[in-house]
Amino acid sequence: MVVKKGLDQDQDTIDLMKEIGLDLSQNVFNGETVDVHLCDDALETLRVVVY
């Protein structure tokens, strides 16, 4: 997911991404683990929020 600069270090954003990953896991990927990659506008991974 593309995020604004600095949000990859913001705990509220990280917590939200954990919730999104959990929701995707349960409702889209049949319970499989989902890691969310926080990326810059060039789609370079800044941080991975692990399931």
Question: Any idea what the Cα angle at residue 36 is, between residues 33 and 38, rounded to 5°?
Answer: 170
Look up the pTM and report it.
0.87
Three-class DSSP category at 12: helix
Distance CA 51, CA 48 (A): 9
pLDDT of residue 51: 86
Every domain of the chain and the residues it spans: 7-49
Going residue by residue through the chain (51 aa), what tens digit of pLDDT does each one get? 999 999 999 999 999 999 999 999 999 999 999 999 999 999 999 999 998
